[in-house]
Amino acid sequence: MKSTFLSIVILLITTSCFSQIKPVKITKNANRFHYEVYEYGSSIDTSFMEIVLKTPVYKVVTEEQEGPFVSGYAHETTIVNLDLDSVFVRAEFDGKASDERFEVASKFGRTDIDYDTAQINGLTCYTCNINSNKLEFFVQDYPFDLNPVPYYGRFKGVLVAFRRNGQTYLQLTNTSFDKNASKNITESGDYKRVTGRELSQIKKDKLIITTRIFDDVQLSWGKKNDHIEGDYRANTPFDSVLHYAGGTLALKRVRLPELPSHYQTFIELHQHSNGDAYDRTGSVFVIPNAGQRLCPNFFDGINNHSDSLPIFTGKDGQKYQGIMPGVSSLEEYKISSMVYAPPVELMRFFTPFGVGHFNDRVKIDGLEWADETYYKQEVTDLAPLLRGEVWIGVWIGNYDGGGHKVTLDIKSYPGSELLNDDNSEDGRRCVPLFNTCNVLEMAGQNYGKLFATDSLTVDVYIPEAKKVRLRYISTGHGGWEGGDEFNPKPNTILIDGKPAYSHTPWREDCGCYRRFNPVSGNFWNGLSSSDYSRSGWCPGTATQPVYFDLSNLSVGKHTITVAIPMGEPQAGSFSHWSVSGVLVVE
């Protein structure tokens, strides 16, 4: 009884929904079929679509926004030939040059989709399920088979409505005859024939703005340092790879495009061992203000010596070079281009144990070693530092003659089809605060050991803004049982001397990355050393930034302090923390 009642309810609901779709009065000799397209059901009208018919051919016309469009935007046309039972999807790029025109041809009548059919209100309803979506097509008798979404196949008659998961996606609203409408329908043209998958990839590749920064560059110990004499801002060549810190750091001066704020920006890094077997700290970073004259910056330490950078002397008596701004006054801090700024990390990453070079050294049943490690991280928040002239570095700490090889790309993806010329006034700003990740380790820059006796405190100027956040990266090091690499330690963020946030960097998923670690130590109990949990990192991963909201701070001067209970040295080894922070202002 319960089952019967439920079936009746479902039938009533279904019949009620179907009753909204009815046959459409079609104009005599109609050659224009106008559809309204909805995004979230028939209550929200978003655009229109038309079929323009000149038998046996029709064109699907979709509403297109007025440009200008982003670089790589595809202008697409769909042509259906009823006699050939074929659909032609065409895409044209950048001025419609012959080598920028592509075409995909496919059968209109599809046999790979199983449709159920039913008669509803004088219409034939075709129903199927694709990728967990219920699709319903309502078709009216007509001499020609017209479907504005021909990807789904050929139905007997004209499609009057299409529903997805119970919501109307498009609906035929009226038809008309226009003697001039079909003049531009054509099947001819110089188009390169490609597959649907190929065209999809071509469209994506053209939209993505890719800048290759480093191409299979070696980071290893033993190279002679490059040195720029005189005015390095004028004398450093663009797009040339320079090596420093004995070859463990590569640097390039590049020009990056000025993009609208709707673009999302990512960096992609490929890395493999070229002889070094160990897990190493790596960093991709930007040198702020490097191209500005009369401004001290981190390149001074790279090109000369780390001791030429502003130095913080800790209570332990040691020198820590270039880890935070040397601010002589708060007024200078407001004009950040006049103040030394530490390098800004785009990504902190860690090499695994020997992926690539040592893949044939150890064989383990059930494991197939990867050829490389691949890291991809969004850096949209740091986009203000990735415009125009930019100095980008990549470093992997190691003393091996073969070291590692890396390839680095910056990729930007549009968030809108329209160009929107708003790149100059989007209001975003990044203020570098501190960085103890010693990318000049092999040139004498100290490790972040100051936390044993000191906290790290910087002055900041909070501007009037909608949102202010601290972008924070932290990893602990000290590779023995009692070292900070293997022991969780809280990182306390104090604002104006008062604890505001606490964050404990810790990764417990390192065992997921075993296939990147061919020469990781294997222990008697079945674990590998690469499986062990660590302080904010795993061999073969990138460390994710965390964000602390500072929007509630008043406009003006404040202090930010980082305090970490660092472990004591043991048997000649020491713990240290690589922390970096950037103020992200919107």
Q: What is the pLDDT of residues 263-293, one digit of tens each?
A: 999 999 999 999 999 999 999 999 998 877 6
- The confidence score (pLDDT) of residue 179 equals 86
* Strands 491-495 and 32-38, bridge-based pairing: unpaired
- The confidence score (pLDDT) of residue 1 equals 45
pLDDT at 6 over 60: no
Q: What is the pTM of this model?
A: 0.88
Question: Where do you find CATH 2.60.120.1570 in the chain?
Answer: 208-585
pLDDT at 328 over 60: no
How many Å apart are CA 89 and CA 83, to the nearest integer? Answer: 17
Contact of 74 with 90, CB cutoff 8 Å: no
pLDDT at 2 over 80: no
How many Å apart are CA 181 and CA 51, to the nearest integer? Answer: 10
Closest CA to 322 of 450, 461, 485: 450
Mean pLDDT (whole number) for 518-530: 91
- The confidence score (pLDDT) of residue 449 equals 97
- The confidence score (pLDDT) of residue 188 equals 64
pLDDT at 327 over 70: no
Q: Binning pLDDT at 50, 70 and 90, where does residue 499 land?
A: very high
Both tokens of 517, joined, read: 């670690």
How many Å apart are CA 293 and CA 287, to the nearest integer? Answer: 14
- The confidence score (pLDDT) of residue 96 equals 56
Cβ neighbors of 35 (< 8 A, separation 6 or more) are 48, 49, 50, 51, 148, 170, 171, 172, 173
Both tokens of 439, joined, read: 């990318």
Mean pLDDT (whole number) for 194-220: 97
* Helix, strand or coil, per DSSP, at residue 391: strand
The burial class, CB within 10 Å (0-12 / 13-18 / 19+), for 400 is buried
- Maximum distance among all Cα pairs of the chain, rounded to whole angstroms: 94
- The confidence score (pLDDT) of residue 439 equals 98
- The confidence score (pLDDT) of residue 63 equals 84
Mean pLDDT (whole number) for 318-327: 87
* Helix, strand or coil, per DSSP, at residue 419: coil
208-585 architecture in CATH? Answer: Sandwich (2.60)
Mean pLDDT (whole number) for 378-386: 96
Place of tokens 């009065």: 25
- The confidence score (pLDDT) of residue 511 equals 96
* Strands 264-273 and 373-378, bridge-based pairing: antiparallel
- The confidence score (pLDDT) of residue 20 equals 73
How many Å apart are CA 147 and CA 150, to the nearest integer? Answer: 5
How many Å apart are CA 385 and CA 583, to the nearest integer? Answer: 12
What's the Rg (C-alpha) of the chain? Answer: 31
Q: Mean pLDDT of all residues in the chain?
A: 90
- Triad 181, 184, 185: Cα angle to 5°: 95
Residue % of the chain over a pLDDT of 90: 78
Cβ neighbors of 361 (< 8 A, separation 6 or more) are 354, 518, 519
How many Å apart are CA 148 and CA 35, to the nearest integer? Answer: 9
Q: Binning pLDDT at 50, 70 and 90, where does residue 66 land?
A: confident
Backbone φ and ψ for 161, nearest 5 degrees, come out as -160, 150
Lowest mean pLDDT among 204-213, 416-425, 462-471, 553-562: 416-425
* Helix, strand or coil, per DSSP, at residue 124: strand
* Helix, strand or coil, per DSSP, at residue 118: strand
Helices (H) and strands (E) in the chain, counts: 5, 32
**Dihedral sign from CA coordinates of 446, 283, 299, 337:** negative
- The confidence score (pLDDT) of residue 183 equals 75
Mean pLDDT (whole number) for 487-493: 98
Per the model's pLDDT, the better-predicted residue between 330 and 378 turns out to be 378
Q: Binning pLDDT at 50, 70 and 90, where does residue 97 land?
A: low
Per the model's pLDDT, the better-predicted residue between 286 and 329 turns out to be 286
pLDDT digits (tens, 9 = 90+) for 233-274: 889 999 999 999 999 999 999 999 999 999 999 999 999 999
How many Å apart are CA 346 and CA 292, to the nearest integer? Answer: 20
Per the model's pLDDT, the better-predicted residue between 508 and 295 turns out to be 508
The burial class, CB within 10 Å (0-12 / 13-18 / 19+), for 179 is exposed
Residue % of the chain over a pLDDT of 70: 91
- The confidence score (pLDDT) of residue 507 equals 98
Q: Binning pLDDT at 50, 70 and 90, where does residue 579 land?
A: very high
How many Å apart are CA 586 and CA 384, to the nearest integer? Answer: 11
pLDDT at 12 over 70: no
Mean pLDDT (whole number) for 504-529: 94
Q: Count the Cβ atoms, other than its own, within 10 Å of residue 221.
A: 17
Cβ neighbors of 112 (< 8 A, separation 6 or more) are none
